[in-house]
Amino acid sequence: MGVAVLSGVIDGLNARNSLGTSQQDSSHASGTSTPVDLSSSQAIMEAKECSLPSNFVCTVNRHESAKSLRKTMDALGDVGKQVKILQGKGVNAEAVRASDVVLLCAKPQMAHSILNEPGMQDALANKLVISILAGVTIAQISSWVPESTKVVRAMPNTPCKIREGMTVVSALPADWTFEKELILAIFRSIGRCRFLEEKHFDACTALCGSGPAFAVTVLEAMADGGVMMGLPRAEAVELAAQSMQGIARMVLETGVHPAALKDSVTTPGGCTIAGLLALEDGKVRSTMARTIQVATTHAAGLGQSKK
């Protein structure tokens, strides 16, 4: 089975898939993902057990991107070296023709023209298209491909690069059992994966797709506070990052409500409550919640123009 990745957006996604260990389906959200040695034979064995696709073709637009992606793939070892990277006129249709599964990863406004390139309609017949494009609906994509093409949406995030990603996939029809297994095999190999109705996708785009940018902004601000109080920058970043990772894992692994975890740190009359009150003065909760609201509304508008 082959996968065409129309643009190498999440660089390494495809080569890593072919080597990935299986992660949990977060419909039962426990456990964590662990980066694996990409060159280990154990990883290759596990990949085979998961029925992961074995042939990969990536397409990009610019020569420089093709070169840089080639370097990334080659650095992954033998499997990465087998990934084909194509660039130039007509390569998208060529890649789709050679594949069973298509990961659509270009900019939202490019989808329509890419899917209408010469030869593409024939190439897409009976294929599974997984689109990670923000804001572009299944109905839109379905109207641009042959009737026999199966279309799903996925919203991954940048931590996929270290197999700590969160990917939401649009709910599948009940009889798509093979597709479900395949999609889980692909996205569990780079983190958690869960299915949600497409109506939630703009919110998922904001929370999961954009979320890493929001979280790292808070992380940076915490580190800045440490620097202000005399901590060296590198240590301040480490302390902030590990504190955020630790408490996030506690939420996922214990299932305890975030407010209860906050209360458990908060000694009466102590420094945590002093800091929390300063946070509330800064309206941090409504600011964060509004951030997701604004990003969700913006996501809904992406890809609504074909230009």
Ligand X SMILES: NC(=O)C1=CN([C@@H]2O[C@H](COP(=O)(O)OP(=O)(O)OC[C@H]3O[C@@H](n4cnc5c(N)ncnc54)[C@H](OP(=O)(O)O)[C@@H]3O)[C@@H](O)[C@H]2O)C=CC1
Ligand Y SMILES: O=C(O)[C@@H]1CCC=N1
Binding positions for NADPH: 92
Q: Does 190 bind ligand X (CB under 6 A)?
A: no
Phi/psi for 226 (5° steps) reads: -65, -40
Edge-to-edge order in the sheet of strand 101-104: 84-87, 55-60, 2-6, 101-104, 128-131, 150-155, 165-170, 191-196
Q: Does 296 bind ligand Y (CB under 6 A)?
A: no
Phi/psi for 51 (5° steps) reads: 55, 40
Q: Does 240 bind ligand X (CB under 6 A)?
A: no
Only segment of 36-44, 203-211, 219-227, 250-258 that touches ligand Y (CB under 6 A) = 203-211
Among 116, 113, 153, CA closest to 137: 153
Identify any residues that bridge with 58 across adjacent strands, giving them in sequence order.
5, 85
Least distance (Å) between residue 60 CB and ligand Y: 18
For residue 107, the partner it binds in ligand X, ligand Y, none, with Cβ less than 5 to 8 A by kind, is ligand X
What are the tokens at 288?
């964060």
Among 191, 248, 175, 158, CA closest to 20: 191
Q: Does 7 bind ligand Y (CB under 6 A)?
A: no
Residues 34-93 interacting with ligand X (rule: CB under 6 A): 59-62, 65, 92
How far apart (Å, rounded) are the C-alpha atoms in residues 196 and 187?
14
Near ligand Y by CB under 6 A: residue from 209, 223, 296, 303: 209
Kindly tell me which of 43 and 202 has the beta carbon lying closer to ligand X: 202
Least distance (Å) between residue 157 CB and ligand Y: 7
Least distance (Å) between residue 193 CB and ligand X: 13
CB 85 within 8 A of CB 15: no
Q: How many CB atoms lie within 10 A of CB 273?
A: 15
Kindly tell me which of 112 and 150 has the beta carbon lying closer to ligand X: 112
Near ligand Y by CB under 6 A: residue from 66, 104, 134, 136: 134
Residues making contact with ligand X (CB under 6 A): 6-9, 59-62, 65, 92, 105-108, 110, 114, 132-134, 155-158, 209
Residues making contact with ligand Y (CB under 6 A): 134, 205, 209-210, 302
